[in-house]
Structure 1
Amino acid sequence: MLPTLRSLTTNRELALQLLTPEEALPAGALDAPIAWVHSSDLADPTPFLSPGQVLLTTGTQFGEQDGDELIGAYVERLSAAGINGLGFGTEVVRAGTPDALVEACRLAGLPAFEVPYRTPFIAVARAAADMAAEERFARRTWTLAAHRAIALAALRPDGLSASLHELSLQLDRWVALFDANGGLDRVFPAEAAAAASAAEDEATRLLRRGNRASSSLAAGGETVSLQTLGRRDRLRGVLAIGGSSELDAAGNEVVTAVIALAGLSLEQGHTLDRAQSSLRSAVLAAWRRGDVELAQSVSREMWGELPESPVCIALLDAPAEKLHSVTEYLEARVAERPGALFFAADPSAGEDRIALVLGRRSLPLLDAVAANFAVHIGVSEPRGASELAGGLTQAEQALARAQDGGPGVSAFSELAQEGVLAYLSTTDAREIGRATLQPLRAHDEAAGSELLHTLRVWLEQNGQFDASAGLLGVHRHTVRARVGLAERLLGRDLSTFRGRAEIWAALLVAGDEPSA
């Protein structure tokens, strides 16, 4: 162990005697590590002292006539220099330790002890040095053992998790890994998840800087150190370690090795993930072309059987910041129920699109994904496994409708029930509809008329003037006159089905919904 005043004063061979009662000293004063033992009889040795040292003196700097004030100033200088204790060698210059010196140390909270004549100062310094050497040897031995334990853990199936778990055991601290988005990925031990979550904001801040960096913070009475993982231009996550105190040099050495190991593991994992993603996309492309047998054989070897017919095909939009989390979630679902789900990135539909193929019993999964990750999902009608291309088309049309509202699932079957005109409102036809109706809007704004509203009600009433007049509260001739003026402004013959259908479609896609 590191030398402390407690270990020195309890060493029987040194026969040191503590002069200041422990209860009169600051808490932990006797257990503070001693950096070195120095001896000096200078009146002011502080220029040659460093914090954490212990000073030994024979008192030749004190004259017989020196009073309490001079001795008090001497002790105050030592205390301000941050030394851990003052030892007085007796029977060299004077018998016993001056009472004024002991009292000044007590008042300053500085431990004072007496060194008997038979104990040379060099023996005290050597004892402290031996203890420090033993501590360094013990820590070096621990470091080697910790490295070996972590290296063996890295050889297990989930080497990264095993290594982090072993690091937690070796340090007797919690260890957490945050992913590239700053989300808590895993923590050891598991019951430290709440404490680790307090460091999530700091982990996110480090990742957003885009450079390799480290930081520390105090949270919940603990000291938490954080270090980014990965290359400067390609950060893969953050390693966080929390405990009641900061790590020593040996602990930091072990952590540095694990940081390198974790960074390599995450980089390799990312490369493997990219390869698997590419293979999934290739399977999806083969399946889309109708080569179900090829898609089935590859899927069977890698992830299990493809879902059995009938299947539903879904498309979800996964922005870059959510893509990794969504993919991990889907991977876990595939592992839980092989054959119930297949998913792959669909480059043909856009970089942020993921295609899912699943049986009807697995459809609740889509609601869970939409809720957990706040994404839009479009899903096709059930169809045979060989009809993937048509299902993707339906899913894309349903996704376009879903994106008109908040996150959630939109089914193509619901879109089909609404009809073709309702689908037009999700396309560029909206601008065409507004342009078609612009002459009526312009006239209404300029003349204060109600041509657009009258035309909408008239079309709702199947072109019946009497029914329209009743709803509008005007004479039927007024309705007839307004419709006639609308015909001229629009350049459409509203007595024909085609003319009425075009204007009705324009009203729908432009946002002028029917009132009934």
Structure 2
Amino acid sequence: MITLLQLGTALSSDLEPGPTGSYSSAPLTGVHISELEDPTPYLLGGELLLTTGMIFARSLTDPKPYVKRLKDKGIRVLGVGLGPSLKSVPAALAEACQQLGVELVVVPDQVPFQNVSRAFWQLAMRSSNAGLMDSLGTQTAMAQAAMRPDAVPAVVRNLAQSLGGWAAFVPRFSEGETVWPASAEQFMPKVRRESQQLATLEAPSTATFELLNQPVVLYPVLVNAQVYGVLSLGPGRRLTPADRQVITTVCVLLAMRAKQREQLTESASVLGGAVAKLAVRGQLEAARMLAEDSGLPDLPSSIRLLALRAQSAIPPAFAAESVRGLAGEEPYDLVPAVQACPFIFEQDGILIALLDSSLLKPQSAKPFDDLEDTEFQSLAFGPRGTAEIPETAAVLSAALNGAQLPSVLHALRASAARAPLGTLTHLGSSDESKAATWVKLLHDYTRADLVSTVTSYLRHRGTWEEAARELGLHRNTLRYRMQLVRSLIGVDVDDPDVSAHLWLALRHAQAAGIS
């Protein structure tokens, strides 16, 4: 923005201050020349208005209405050119300008108005070039920061400093979230919620919301037309076009960094999967050599095989998310072990992971719906939100050494194919434990009383009419419920081995007060 002081200094003797004897720092948006009695329809506001004063010399005895119109339009500076029309500034005009707060300047006789216009636009060009150079310098600094090992924190910090405010980057997963300065952490709960909403839109674009009466701007960072993360800004000032160019550059740098990381992760996933396949086929030496050559960690000395199955395919990148909150007779928090596991592969719709036994510890599992906001954020950026992470069945083996892996794999896969969705079961666990899990699934189903349904069905040895009569149900309703039971617990209730253990588990639950 060019100020009157800058323009007056540049023009030197071609422009003189008015009665005050000095120039103010009033900003100017342009220079306009008019001899009309009311030039305001042709003004945008903020210009330096130049006039030869013909209207004052001719007929306008009271200039106050004229100056008032300029003031109302946003004109802060009036320039009067001396010459044939006026030899000096009329006292009434000077008084009106002083009263209404419009600054008065004088263009001396014989000085073309074009000199004033030309000086203004030369200053504007210089200012634009300086702004461009500053922007290029900032963008260069951003690009250099993007080459550092701590690229994302460095870029976010540099951006916040250049804008004089705060900045945050919320990636698709909670890992790698960056906030600068640390005091902006207080804003993050709201920022995460807004970022999640932006990421679920079909066509995400820049968005804004208010925080403590200040605007916050959100910019989606896209990789292959998918939201990789959201850049959030609380600028300390109004954003300029140069600022927006810098922000666009930062989004591109973050996207490039994400793409690079994605490619590295994909390569590591392929190599880790190859190591795992060699290990479960008994080729331990080849597996260890490939891991070493690929820069992957060595196979753990104690391994627990984990098999994951869902109604739709689970990408290896979402393996950790898919095991949150699984119910089982001995609940484990599988997430840390799966997140740290580089040895995962998929075969016939089932994911197999070679977990480090030392990272797997029993603990009380939290239901999915009870996760705190800070824990939930890691799910915020699924393919289209958390709804697309499928319900999973998980089967976990006992601790094994490398030589035992091939002998367990077939049983593990077969167990995963039968395991009920939403549960964690243990390979080789007792039939009693499995039956207790089935009863819990039946009890937790709230849309129908499946416990009483199965109890009556087993009591009458699968006789539809007698069981339906005892339950007060139509026979077709009973058939539908039993189909639901088979789907829910993943086994055939008419199998004698299943029905015997299930009947005993139901009796035990009834004695324990579970209805």
Q: Secondary structure at the match of 2:355?
A: strand
Q: 1:152 to 1:272 in 2, by over 3 A?
A: same
Quote how far apart the aligned CAs of 1:135 are.
1.4
Contact 2:316 2:345 survives alignment (8 Å): no
Aligned to 2:104: 113
Structure 1 position 225 matched with structure 2 position 251 = no
Equivalent residue runs for 1:437-452 within 5 Å: 438-445=464-471
Structure 1 position 213 matched with structure 2 position 230 = no
1:117-137 deviations in Å (ceiling 9; x for gaps) = 469455544443343233122
Q: Secondary structure at the match of 1:210?
A: coil
Quote how far apart the aligned CAs of 1:317 are.
7.7
After superposition, the CA RMSD in angstroms is 5.1
Q: 1:111 to 1:100 in 2, by over 3 A?
A: closer
Which of 35, 42, 64 is residue 71 of structure 1 equivalent to? Answer: 64
Quote how far apart the aligned CAs of 1:45 are.
1.4
Quote how far apart the aligned CAs of 1:380 are.
3.1
- Give the Cα separation in 2 of the matches to 1:84 and 1:183: 53
Between 383-392 and 318-327, the greater mean CA deviation after superposition: 318-327
Which of 206, 221, 236 is residue 244 of structure 1 equivalent to? Answer: 236
1:33-72 deviations in Å (ceiling 9; x for gaps) = 422122222112123322332213343324687576x733
Quote how far apart the aligned CAs of 1:141 are.
2.1
Aligned to 2:148: 156
Structure 1 position 192 matched with structure 2 position 190 = no
TM-score of the aligned structures, taking structure 2 as reference length: 0.66
1:298-350 deviations in Å (ceiling 9; x for gaps) = 333423222223x333456899999758769x9xxxxxx99x95344442374
Identity of aligned residues (%): 23
1:50-98 deviations in Å (ceiling 9; x for gaps) = 2332213343324687576x733x3454344443433445685264455
2:47 alignment partner AA:
Q
Q: 1:244 to 1:181 in 2, by over 3 A?
A: same
Between 182-191 and 218-227, the greater mean CA deviation after superposition: 182-191
Quote how far apart the aligned CAs of 1:230 are.
2.8
- Give the Cα separation in 1 of the matches to 2:188 and 2:498: 61
Contact 1:313 1:395 survives alignment (8 Å): no
Structure 1 position 47 matched with structure 2 position 41 = yes
Q: What is the number of residues matched between the two proteins?
A: 442
Aligned to 1:452: none
Aligned to 1:16: 17
Which of 228, 244, 253 is residue 261 of structure 1 equivalent to? Answer: 253
Structure 1 position 280 matched with structure 2 position 272 = yes
Contact 1:422 1:508 survives alignment (8 Å): no
Q: 1:403 to 1:111 in 2, by over 3 A?
A: farther
1:348 alignment partner AA:
Q
- Give the Cα separation in 1 of the matches to 2:362 and 2:471: 49
Aligned to 2:430: 416
Q: 1:56 to 1:402 in 2, by over 3 A?
A: farther
Flag structure 1 segments of 5+ consecutive residues without an equivalent: 23-29, 331-336, 448-491, 493-497
1:218-249 deviations in Å (ceiling 9; x for gaps) = 43454433333336743333333331223322
Contact 1:165 1:175 survives alignment (8 Å): yes
Quote how far apart the aligned CAs of 1:279 are.
2.2
Q: 1:346 to 1:304 in 2, by over 3 A?
A: closer
Equivalent residue runs for 1:74-85 within 5 Å: 74-85=66-77
Aligned to 1:515: 511
Aligned to 2:405: 388
Aligned to 2:480: none
- Give the Cα separation in 1 of the matches to 2:189 and 2:119: 45
Between 418-427 and 126-135, the greater mean CA deviation after superposition: 418-427
Flag structure 2 segments of 5+ consecutive residues without an equivalent: 324-335, 380-390, 443-449, 474-493
- Give the Cα separation in 2 of the matches to 1:97 and 1:76: 16
Quote how far apart the aligned CAs of 1:267 are.
2.4
- Give the Cα separation in 2 of the matches to 1:97 and 1:437: 113
TM-score of the aligned structures, taking structure 1 as reference length: 0.66
Contact 2:27 2:46 survives alignment (8 Å): yes
Q: 1:439 to 1:295 in 2, by over 3 A?
A: farther
Q: 1:204 to 1:421 in 2, by over 3 A?
A: closer
1:173-228 deviations in Å (ceiling 9; x for gaps) = 43333324799832344443444654434433333223352234443454433333
Quote how far apart the aligned CAs of 1:285 are.
1.9
